Structure 1
């Protein structure tokens, strides 16, 4: 087709109590698409009180349906109504999460990960049923499926999606500038005085924090002089309690368990860290790895995962290990903090510079056009 592609995009995630990475994806993608002259986007969301303002804010005009979120999602999945393209003037519908509207035009779906298949215990029975129903709809109806990593693409292919329907489009990254004064102020507030290794995330089994703590203890025994800083909320599976118990075996003050922190503080923590350790067993993409690199901080992460894709070409700014091998984790920590900081910073930022939301937006437009033409992006 000629002229801009007209897209109806689901942006309801931005009104969720915890928008999470999906909300950030929607906000950053819509802002980037607004700068493109070959696409026009209108958001689709549920009914909300007029005074409610989403966070993060999607940078497109939004059409609100008459139904509240829960009812809207159920009718979308069970009845395939109301159609997201019923007002006309739409070429493609883009479902940015597992809530898939009905439509008559081609459907593009973003699949961030298949966490509900890997860790069904992390979700309620109702949530698992919702996600599985959505996956069936994706397999049956999606013209194109956008995923953030080759690892997620492989998961999608394993459950029945043809490889030719799946487009790997990595996320972009945008981080605030952090200066030495901000780092010093954060250290004073948190009591983190010594050089430190940072981890961030939710305390849950797949994040592999227990092995990281054990590896840190072994690395200290081998001469590591850094502290370990753990940032993020309590999750599930009893991980928080088990981590706290493990910390009791370490010297007082060696580990700082800070809990949830504001986003700005997290970026200051990235910028001030000697290294970032992220040995998750799996992730759909692993945005923290990319954010750390964007701050010039070297990364220890897991071989054979989506995070390994992100650090490809990072040279001295990355160490890849088997995340289940505690000795390898310990050795990797010692190796990473001993590298030349200036060379590491340059290599880390060079890799992160290749991940832009502008590039992601162009790739999404390619997926929209492929959906219309029935070809590849």
Structure 2
């Protein structure tokens, strides 16, 4: 069988230096980790000027070409002048809406188009940045990688031809968590009761006020639970709007180190993620990888990601969210949901995602 020639890829990795890299940062790191196992691939990261490694998880496993500009100026030069042009590669992979000027064919990953559906959930500057990125992708990208069929449909509706759009599901990696680590985590935060977990960046589309109201409905129905919210502050007034149950039932823990986050997942009785809209919904797959029953939003990418293994609810209906939590904790359903979560997570592989993405990159490079 003929060996494919080595493919030189220039990939944007600036997201890893953001204060909250989020799912896009995880996507970059996990692809790079999987790429390291491939012999026919050479990847160089592209970033703004930084003195050190990304603060969140340390050095990236590839050489990084630092453009001698700060992030804001680099992004402006890319978006407005399409300069400086990235060279020395067979293909350029824009991993977020920050799309570099380039001399080689462009492949772009579009994680979601939530700003098109709910622009009020974002800052005006953010919407303008996303719209400009979308215009560049629509005009210049040889191929577009998306993490779900829901995002693929949004891309087509935004004017990107279907033949340019490739669905590549994200993989998932469950962090290590043993019973002792879970017990330590629970004791540190005074978590005596079983708890419902939510994880993510607190921002309007995550629907936290309705989650809290739905949780309150579940408690009124007799569920003896706490609600634990973990993740960094985002934007909007989500923290101020988290009301509806007594303070000792809702714990806002903020951003956790990786070991504590794994313990939080592993110790959860249920994971509830009624987001209004996501491109994929990584927290859903991460909870499933820890064998936690999941409650998430019907008619969204999270339904696609969970693939029949989750309790589905109407994210706009607080009572239905409460109903979903009660259903997930019911002793007759809980073990089966936990097993279904593990089975679905086992189907999501970063190695497979990397191989499929490389196939798109290689085709675009010609």
SS in 2 for 1:284: coil
Instruction: Compute the displacement of 1:302 (Å).
Output: 0.5
1:108 aligns with 2:111: no
Closer/same/farther in 2, CA of residues 289 and 371 from structure 1, 3 Å limit: same
Q: Which residue of 1 aligns with 2:343?
A: 350
User: Tell me, which stretches of 5 or more residues in structure 2 are unaligned?
Assistant: none
Structure 2 distance, partners of 1:8, 1:356, is: 23
Structure 2 residue aligned with 1:305: 300
Cα distance, 1:347 vs structure 2: 2.1
- Give the aligned partner of residue 314 of structure 2: 322
| CA–CA distance in structure 2, aligned partners of residues 82 and 344 of structure 1 | 50
| Residue 276 of structure 2: aligned partner | 281
Q: Which moved further from structure 2: 1-10 or 106-115?
A: 1-10
CA distance in 2, matches of 1:125, 1:227: 36
Compute the displacement of 1:341 (Å).
4.7
Residue among 323, 328, 337 paired with 1:331: 323
| Equivalent residue in structure 2 for 1:259, among 254, 258, 267 | 254
Q: TM-score, normalised by structure 1?
A: 0.90
Contact 1:107 1:141 in 2 (8 A): yes
Residue 293 of structure 1 pairs with residue 276 of structure 2: no
- Residue 48 of structure 2: aligned partner: 46
Matched with 1:226 is 225
- Cα distance change, pair 127–196 in 1 and its aligned pair in 2 (3 A): closer
Among 21, 24, 27, the alignment partner of 1:19 is 21
Structure 1 unmatched ranges of 5 or more: none
Contact 2:145 2:167 in 1 (8 A): yes
Task: Quote the offset at 1:226 in angstroms.
Answer: 2.0
Residue 108 of structure 1 and its aligned partner are, at CA, apart by 0.2
Which residue matches 1:241? 240
Q: TM-score, normalised by structure 2?
A: 0.92
Superposition pairs of residues 141-156 of structure 1, within 5 angstroms: 141-156=140-155
Q: State whether residues 114 and 277 of structure 2, in contact with CA within 8 Å, keep that contact through their aligned partners in structure 1.
A: no
**Aligned partners of 2:150, 2:326: CA distance in 1, in Å?**
28
Q: Distance in 1 between matches of 2:17 and 2:229?
A: 28
Q: CA 1:39–1:270 in 2, change beyond 3 Å: closer, same or farther?
A: same
How big is the shift at 1:104? Answer: 2.7
SS in structure 1 of the partner of residue 240 of structure 2: helix
Partners in 1 of 2:364 and 2:137 — Cα distance?
13
Name the SS for the 2:85 alignment partner: coil
CA separation of 1:259/1:102 partners in 2, compared to 1, >3 Å: closer, same or farther?
Answer: closer
Deviations 1:144-178 (A, max 9, x none): 01111111111111111111111111211112221
Q: Secondary structure at the match of 2:235?
A: coil
Deviates more, 1:138-147 or 1:37-46: 37-46
Deviates more, 1:219-228 or 1:188-197: 219-228
Q: Distance in 2 between matches of 1:17 and 1:255?
A: 25
Distance 2:130 2:320 in 1: 36
Structure 1 residues 268 and 301: alpha-carbon distance in aligned structure 2, compared to 1, 3 A threshold: same
**Residues 128 and 342 of structure 1: is their aligned pair in 2 closer, same or farther, counting only changes over 3 Å?**
closer
| Mapping 1:113-128, distance limit 5 Å | 113-128=112-127
Looking at structure 2, the residues matched to 3 and 129 of structure 1 have their Cα atoms a distance apart, in angstroms, of 39
Match of 1:364 in 2: 357
Summarize the Cα distance change of 1:25–1:325 in structure 2 as closer, same or farther, 3 Å threshold.
Answer: same
Report if aligned partners of 2:298, 2:312 keep a CA contact under 8 Å in 1: yes
Looking at structure 2, the residues matched to 272 and 118 of structure 1 have their Cα atoms a distance apart, in angstroms, of: 34
Report the Cα offset of residue 59 of structure 1. Answer: 1.5
C-alpha separation in 1, matches of 2:79 and 2:96 = 13
| Inter-partner Cα distance in structure 2 for 1:75 and 1:236 | 26
Distance 1:84 1:236 in 2: 32
- 2:82 aligns with 80
Structure-2 change in CA distance of 1:234 and 1:130 (3 Å): closer
**Structure 1: how far apart are the matches of 2:93 and 2:214?**
43
CA contact (8 A) 1:228 1:256 kept: yes
Provide closer, same or farther for how the CA distance between residues 183 and 219 of structure 1 changes in structure 2, counting only shifts above 3 A.
same
- Describe the shift of the 1:105–1:232 C-alpha distance in structure 2 as closer, same or farther (beyond 3 A): closer
